Structure 1
Amino acid sequence: MRTPRRSFALGASALALALGLGSVLSACGSDDATADEGGSGSSGTSTQLPVTIEHKYGETTFTDVPERVVVVGLQEQDTLIALGIVPVGVTSWFGDESGINPWAEEALPEGAEMPEVLDATNGIPVEKVAALAPDLIIGEYSSMSEQEYDLLSQIAPTLAQSGDYPDYSMPWDEMSLKIGQAVGQAEEAATLVDDTTAAIAQAAADHPEFAGRTAALVTPYEGLFVYGPEDPRTRLLGDLGFDITSKTITDGEGEFGVSLSAERAEELADIDVTVWYDIEAEQDVAAVYEGTDAYREGRWVDVTDADGAYYVAHSFVNPLAIPYVLERYVPQLAAAVDGDPATKPPVVTD
């Protein structure tokens, strides 16, 4: 799984592999001060529970409305917040150090306590998850291993990623619907998904010039990395009407993405619109692309860390981030697709 400009591989940690099940359960049952703090979930009952959800490692039955949710995936907190639930723990990826980014702050319930931020660089920190005494663990946008799942599911009912897609490639709407089911808000989640889908469809309808035009999402990384059709960010381009399957330079390799040599950036000239993450990050790649007609005609977009929250939101494909991204992204795409380098998109400020 690749974030802009850098790889963020989250494999199984040596610590998690070494943990004994007994120590994890002991941590879960401890009287640690963290575990005693109240959560920000929606306590009570739901007529939409119990529900059984299938995932990569089998199925899990969720019976109770959770009060303490821990997110071990990289972005599911946004969907929870949209449903009125603030998790007690989230996993650090990139963006705001609090784990709650600007586009989600407005949706926070008044007076909500900020979650504890977990570091999963070396795998899911199972003991720290246990210390938070969760009654629900969510890790759909993750590379959770089966051994990690087995440990986590001994702590609380755990929603793992779908086995129907590569890790970090589960579609945002499926993730959202399953989160809603797990917390007893399936109907509310369906409404959230419908509203977000309608916003995407409206953007596509407002820009019929996107339909059928080829698009690619790329970043300089040890050459050129091209995001594949299974990446959620690439799927969003497809939902906006772009053709993300034809005239690509990956030859069908890598559902999530493929690394290519720097000189192959020249082949992006055949793409109608290329969306870059940090085009100047590697000068050898930039120099090749800047020699193409596509570059000279302005048929490209560059999203960089100088764009602040927008740069981060671009990788958080979920019901809270998508509207924030569309407001900024769609005008950029419209300016690029017309092939006139003089066209400049309006500047949207935070």
Structure 2
Amino acid sequence: MSLTPLLRPARPRPTGLHLAGLVLVAGALAACGSDDASGTDATAAGTAAGATTEPDAFPVTLEHKYGETTFTAAPERVVVVGLQEQDTLIDLGIVPVGVTYWFGEEDAINPWAEAALPEGAEPPTVLQATDGIPVEQVAALRPDLIIGEYSSMTEQEYEQLSQLAPVLAQSGEYADYAMPWQEMALKIGQAVGQEEAITARIEEVEEQFAEAAADHPEFADATVALVTPYEGLFVYGPDDPRARLLEDLGFDTRTSTLFDDQASFGGSLSPERAADLENLDLTVWYDRTAEAGVADVYEGTDQFAEGRFVNISDDDGAYYVAHSFTNTLALPYVLERYVPQLAAAIDGDPTTVVEVEE
């Protein structure tokens, strides 16, 4: 599997989109759609059948990177232009009409979300964002809400999408893709009129983290880095959502000198710096053996000899994918597998083996 989904490097931006033409296309599509009430609109309304709008939920105004958006009613046709927000919507009983493919299942509905799907829900249209947000395809889905928190949505894209429907963009308080999962979930819940419901789910998941941390006092303040071989040794910064998961379990991701001069998302170091990992209590790897130069250096460390590492790779199937989906549906699925791995690694006994359930 390509490392691109895990590292999320800057992607090429869309070209050739003209706002005026886009608005005309969107208007024509909307006009055509209004003549066929028994078609796609009826199907879309069914996708939100399990959702219950809370009293006094609207209007609500939410701030984001490009200003603020006011949401006035519960949506029926949600399009997700971020990479993982469909899980939070499904957790609230809403199946979007459009989702953006990242990695994992081709329909963008992964195993941890399947059980939460409302019965009889129509599968969403899957969008590809290799050249930026496909705004014209979004317009064709006639959305009444567009969500792009876990994204690198540009201001131009935001302006274009705002001509189609209210847009919930990423926060301006964090780097792109670094928004905490709790804040992403809360704003989605508010935008769809289910703040109380999503708050309850956030608290449930946070309690699972708290219980895991309490059950494993050996995690407390143990130093750890989350890394992968990519242009040398790529170190995920402490503000990356996946690194924050380790903090939530009690680990310390912030004292390592590996993070000197690193951006909040992270950055690449020379392969030789893999030797510095042995100064930490634990290392969590994505695809540890992907680059021979990095693997050779690391395999010469005491940390490697003592088995004080976790490796999550493509061989782990859905778990490998889920580890990057930080939301209320994916996180319980991850914790069930991740916590035993971490406990086995930090005991310093290389003979301890944990079978990862797919």
TM-score by length of 2: 0.93
**How far apart in 2 are the matches of 1:337 and 1:143?**
35
**How far apart in 2 are the matches of 1:330 and 1:219?**
19
**How far apart in 1 are the matches of 2:185 and 2:120?**
24
Please name the residue that 1:38 is paired with: 43
Please name the residue that 1:349 is paired with: 357
| Residue 294 of structure 2 corresponds to residue 282 of structure 1 | no
SS at match of 1:255: coil
Q: Residue by residue, what CA displacement relative to the aligned partner does 1:293-346 show, whole Å, maximum 9, x if unpaired? A: 01001010100000000000000011100000001100000011111111122x
Moved more, 3-12 or 59-68: 3-12
Q: How does 1:204-243 map to 2 (within 5 A)?
A: 204-243=213-252
> Which amino acid is the alignment partner of residue 349 of structure 1?
E
| Residue 352 of structure 2 corresponds to residue 338 of structure 1 | no
Q: How does 1:39-118 map to 2 (within 5 A)?
A: 39=44, 40-42=47-49, 46-47=54-55, 48-118=57-127
**How far apart in 1 are the matches of 2:258 and 2:95?**
42
* Structure 1 residue 3: Cα displacement: 4.9
Q: Residue by residue, what CA displacement relative to the aligned partner does 1:264-320 show, whole Å, maximum 9, x if unpaired? A: 111111111100000111011000000000100101010000000000000001110
| Contact 1:3-1:315 within 8 A present in 2 as well | no
* Structure 1 residue 35: Cα displacement: 5.3
| Residue 148 of structure 2 corresponds to residue 129 of structure 1 | no
Q: How does 1:152-167 map to 2 (within 5 A)?
A: 152-167=161-176
Please name the residue that 1:13 is paired with: 14
**How far apart in 2 are the matches of 1:118 and 1:81?**
17
> Which amino acid is the alignment partner of residue 168 of structure 1?
Y
SS at match of 2:285: strand
| Contact 1:80-1:87 within 8 A present in 2 as well | yes
SS at match of 1:23: helix
Structure 1 pair 278/246, CA: closer, same or farther in 2 (3 Å)?
same
Aligned residues: 346
**How far apart in 1 are the matches of 2:132 and 2:93?**
28
Q: Residue by residue, what CA displacement relative to the aligned partner does 1:236-268 show, whole Å, maximum 9, x if unpaired? A: 000000001012412142110011111111111
Q: Residue by residue, what CA displacement relative to the aligned partner does 1:140-186 show, whole Å, maximum 9, x if unpaired? A: 00000001000101100000000000000000000000000000000
* Structure 1 residue 45: Cα displacement: 5.5
| Contact 2:53-2:192 within 8 A present in 1 as well | no
Structure 1 pair 8/88, CA: closer, same or farther in 2 (3 Å)?
farther
Structure 1 pair 328/26, CA: closer, same or farther in 2 (3 Å)?
same
SS at match of 2:289: helix
| Contact 2:78-2:144 within 8 A present in 1 as well | yes
> Which amino acid is the alignment partner of residue 18 of structure 2?
L
Moved more, 25-34 or 137-146: 25-34
| Contact 2:189-2:197 within 8 A present in 1 as well | yes
Q: How does 1:238-249 map to 2 (within 5 A)?
A: 238-249=247-258
Q: Residue by residue, what CA displacement relative to the aligned partner does 1:79-108 show, whole Å, maximum 9, x if unpaired? A: 000000000000010000001000000100
* Structure 1 residue 230: Cα displacement: 1.1
* Structure 1 residue 20: Cα displacement: 2.5
CA RMSD of aligned residues (A): 1.8
TM-score by length of 1: 0.95
| Contact 1:248-1:271 within 8 A present in 2 as well | no
**How far apart in 1 are the matches of 2:265 and 2:7?**
15
| Residue 155 of structure 2 corresponds to residue 146 of structure 1 | yes
| Contact 2:52-2:194 within 8 A present in 1 as well | no
**How far apart in 2 are the matches of 1:198 and 1:3?**
32
Please name the residue that 2:326 is paired with: 317
Structure 1 pair 197/45, CA: closer, same or farther in 2 (3 Å)?
closer
Please name the residue that 2:267 is paired with: 258
> Which amino acid is the alignment partner of residue 344 of structure 1?
V
